[in-house]
Amino acid sequence: MTVVKSEFFLALNQVATERGISPEDVLESIQAAVLAAYKKDYGAPDDEESEDAPVVDLHKQTGEFHILQHGKDITPPGFGRIAAQTARQVILQKDP
């Protein structure tokens, strides 16, 4: 079986290595940043325990994400660029 590693996967591991943190921590930071950007721009309940609170579904191999609420994709068109910029800032500020 051939393992194909995506650019996202390779970049994820590179960032983790450079920052001295685990790839899982980088993924968690990305998810948190995407959710923070969504809440800032579109408003959402701050209570993560709320049934109405959106969640981020992040594909760990491709980096593709969707914002879900009640299992429905509510990702705004063009939101990926905004979320990527926010995630970048969060990761750069994270202490190793």
Tens of each residue's pLDDT in the chain, 96 residues: 445 567 888 888 898 898 898 989 888 888 888 888 888 888 766 655 677 789 999 888 788 889 999 999 999 988 888 777 877 787 777 665
77: DSSP letter: T
> Which of 42-48's residues contact partners 24+ apart within 8 Å by CB, and which partners?
42/76
Q: For residue 90, how many C-alpha atoms fall within 13 Å in the half-sphere facing its CB?
A: 19
Q: Are strands 72-73 and 55-58 parallel, antiparallel or unpaired?
A: unpaired
Whether residue 82 is contained in a domain is answered as yes
Whether residue 1 is contained in a domain is answered as no
d(CA 58, CA 69): 14
Cα 38–13–23 angle (5° rounding)? 60
0.95 cut: is pTM over it?
A: no
Maximum CA extent, the chain: 44
Domain tally for the chain? 1
Whether residue 53 is contained in a domain is answered as yes
Domain with residue 32: its CATH number is: 3.30.1480.10
d(CA 10, CA 16): 10
Residue-range definition of the domain harbouring residue 40: 7-93
